[in-house]
Amino acid sequence: MATFVLVPGFWLGAWVWDSVGRELRAAGHEVLAVTPTGLGDRVHLATPEVDLETHAADVINTIRYAGLEEVILVGHSGGGLPVALAADRIHERLARVVYLDSAPLPDGMRQLDANPPEAREEIEKRVATQGDGWRLPPPPFADIADDPVNLAGLSRADLALLRSRGVPQPFATATCPLRRSHAAPVPETLIACIFPEAQVRQMIAGEHPMFAGFHGPPHVVPLPTGHYPMLSRPRDTARVLASLA
């Protein structure tokens, strides 16, 4: 049996992993889900100073203070960034790093830089006008028709859950550059959801900036669905993760 540490993406907390965690535990695995500072049940700790380094420390300290070894560390979406930093800094405690519809950015790159210029301007405008200059409001999660790629496979109940529990993301987590050492590579897996496997492999081979932070070609596993597979396909997400144990 394996030990999994699950890290959510932007706007989400440990709660988003509830169904996946139940499936993994029922199969005999140990599971810890991280709520990064300022999100989920720790939303009251949000400040302008909460940045990527803060969230990396959340992941690292979860593993260290639980005394965990041979961890399969999973990062969803923007949660892949603190996971990438943790993989650099406590590599000796990890068995594998899994990027769930995510990827490790290269040293010096910011999450914000992964967006085209027009999108960056729109994001910065939302932060300035709706987030007091330091918080990125969550998407509306109103209807699948509004965002059919990212929200594919979600039910009305899933969307309602995202609306009720999603909270603004401390924006410094998107503007803080990754500082990676690549000291000791850990085996890496990319679970591809919104992009077809062939396209992902092509982007990796073409050294697309989003995928330039891998140590080498990662192990790629397809899981076709929207950007929130832990909600749209929780059993299949747990099955894929368990297969990596």
DSSP string, 197-226: HHHHHHHHHTT-GGGTTSSSSPEEEE--S-
Query: So what's the pLDDT on residue 174?
Result: 98
What share of the chain in percent tops pLDDT 70? 100
- For tokens 């302008």, name the residue: 48
The pLDDT assigned to 211 comes to: 86
> What is the spatial distance between Cα 70 and Cα 91, in angstroms, rounded to a whole number?
9
> Is 103 buried (19+), middle (13-18) or exposed (0-12) by CB count in 10 A?
buried
What's residue 46's pLDDT? 98
In tens, the pLDDT along 13-39 reads 999 999 999 999 999 999 999 999 999
Between CA 196 and CA 54 the distance in angstroms is 33
Q: What pLDDT does residue 236 have?
A: 98
- Kindly report which listed range (80-84, 154-158, 211-215, 225-229) carries the lowest average pLDDT score: 211-215
The CB density around residue 58, as the number of other CB atoms within 10 Å, is: 20
What is the separation of C-alpha 242 from the centre of its chain, rounded to a whole number of angstroms?
Answer: 18
pLDDT at 182 over 90: no
- CATH number among 3.50.40.10, 3.40.50.1820, 1.20.1250.20, 1.25.40.90, domain 3-243: 3.40.50.1820
CB atoms inside a 10 Å sphere around CB 51: 19
What is the pLDDT, as a whole number, of residue 2?
97
Mark out the alpha helices in 116-217 (DSSP H runs): 117-130, 156-165, 172-175, 197-205
Q: Which tens digits make up the pLDDT trace of 54-64?
A: 999 999 999 99
Count of residues making up the chain: 245
> According to the model, what pLDDT value does residue 181 have?
82
**C-alpha pair distances (Å), 25 with each of 53, 214, 238:** 30, 29, 10
- Please tell me the pTM assigned to this model: 0.96
Q: What is the CA radius of gyration of the chain?
A: 17
Q: Which two tokens stand for residue 143?
A: 């209807």
Is residue 30 exposed (0-12), middle (13-18) or buried (19+ Cβ within 10 Å)? middle
